[in-house]
Amino acid sequence: MKNNNLLNLLLILLMTANGYGQQWGPGVTSPEIHEDNSVTFRLIAPNADSVFVTGDFLPTVKVSTPMGEVDAPGKALLQKEENGVWSYRTAPLTAELYSYSFVVNGLNTIDPSNPFVIRDVGNLYNIFVIGQKEAHLYAINDVPHGTVSHRWYESPGLNMDRRLTVYTPPGYENSGEQYPVLYLLHGAGGDEEAWITLGRTAQIMDNLLAEGKIKPMIVVMPNGNVIQDAAPGEGNTGFYKPQFMVPKTMDGTYETHFMDVVHFVENNYRVLKNKANRAIAGLSMGGFHALHISRIYPNTFNYVGLFSAAILNGNDPTGTVYANIDETLKTQMDNGYKLYWIGIGKTDFLYNANQDYRERLDKIGMEYTYQETEGGHIWRNWRIYLAEFVPQLFQ
């Protein structure tokens, strides 16, 4: 009996070990970064008919979305070798954080040999970093690190407790200092986890602080989807597939009740509670929100950042939040501000809308700083915008 029990235990351990080995893809290295910064991807798939890699290191293609045509990564065919391993080697890549996935017989899947995975809306991608230049800001370097926490706050306006992400700078816990605050807003399909994972906010802030390029500040990353209390899987509605657009995201509700977030932060963190020490910025839908929040609370934020902002018509049932835009912008301008920053990629599907908005600002004489980059509606640009925006804050 003892021998049978021991045999069964050995079989279970062998099966478990084999299962985990298959999960992480034994026998191949993928991705492999070479000395010239080219990268080889490999996948064991002896029975596959085709394997492609798709990622933001490849030339983009246009795809249709609910918000119009946007840039999306292209794909490259892997070559099958005799041992059933498929492989593809890129040209040398520039310094950057990249994301990718495989397409096997038409089915999207992550790389089983790379355990580093991020979620963007409802899709999973592997990541890797090509070092130095911009990419060193996205790496975890040997520098003092801040703290990232998830906090729940009461939102009386939305009648629920909600979750947000907060970055506090190195030394916050042991310091008696008060800090300025940047409110950093995500885009459509995102949530309170988007900026900290896809945007590498903590790494960017840590590294810029270590280089002496920014002032210590708190960064607050709320959930802009007012029907959610938290990101999918983190709130009371349980596990469900995230959607690109959810109801009520651009109907004025978020803007109307945004001060619930500000009040929570100013009642629970050591912060400087005045306009000179508040900034608000956002990407895409978050840029839309930042534009209108700073406009309807015109004496609240001294710094505003619009990253590939969705300059679109909001659908406000009350007819108040998106009304009298020129008049409220003039009030914001007359109240004074230190920085109004606009960034957009040359091939972004929102490029023309941003140019129209610039003309609107020019007509009323509202000063702004403008940055134009290569590429489209992509996280690579938004990380760059964040790294260039925050050094200009609270100086």
Q: Which CATH number is 109's domain given?
A: 2.60.40.10
What domain range includes position 164? 147-392
Q: What is the mean pLDDT of residues 255-259?
A: 96
Pull the structure tokens for residue 322.
């998106």
Asked if the model's pLDDT at residue 18 lies above 60, the reply is no
Could you tell me if 64 and 208 lie in one domain? no
Residues of the chain with pLDDT > 90: what percent?
74
Asked if residue 218 is part of any domain, the answer here is yes
Last residue of a domain, one of 98, 131, 164: 131
Least confident among 81-90, 150-159, 313-322: 313-322
Could you tell me if 180 and 87 lie in one domain? no
CB 128 within 8 A of CB 98: yes
Could you tell me if 225 and 81 lie in one domain? no
Could you tell me if 109 and 202 lie in one domain? no
Pull the structure tokens for residue 46.
């002896």
Could you tell me if 311 and 382 lie in one domain? yes
Nearest 5°: phi and psi at 27?
Answer: 90, -5
Asked if residue 32 is part of any domain, the answer here is yes
Q: What is the mean pLDDT of residues 32-57?
A: 95
CB burial class (10 A; 0-12, 13-18, 19+) of residue 384? buried
- The letter for the amino acid at 110 is I
Q: Tell me which residue of 129, 364, 162, 167 sits closest to 260, measured CA to CA.
A: 162
Last residue of a domain, one of 107, 131, 155: 131
pLDDT band at 160 (very low <50, low <70, confident <90, very high): very high
Q: What is the tens place of the pLDDT at every residue in 317-355?
A: 888 899 999 999 999 999 999 999 999 999 999 999 999
DSSP symbol at 59 = P
Distances, alpha carbon 116 to alpha carbons 217, 288, 355, 362, in Å = 28, 31, 38, 45
Which pLDDT value is given to residue 241? Answer: 77
Q: What is the tens place of the pLDDT at every residue in 188-225?
A: 989 999 999 999 999 999 999 999 999 999 999 999 99
For the chain, the distance separating the N- and C-terminal CA atoms, rounded to the nearest angstrom, is 76
Asked if the model's pLDDT at residue 8 lies above 90, the reply is no
Strands 123-130 and 96-104: what pairing? antiparallel
Asked if residue 290 is part of any domain, the answer here is yes
Q: How many domains does the chain have?
A: 2
DSSP letter string over 165-212?
A: EEEE-TTGGG----B-EEEEE--TT--TTHHHHTS-HHHHHHHHHHTT
Asked if the model's pLDDT at residue 12 lies above 50, the reply is no
| pTM, 2 dp | 0.87
CB 47 within 8 A of CB 56: no
Which pLDDT value is given to residue 19? Answer: 38
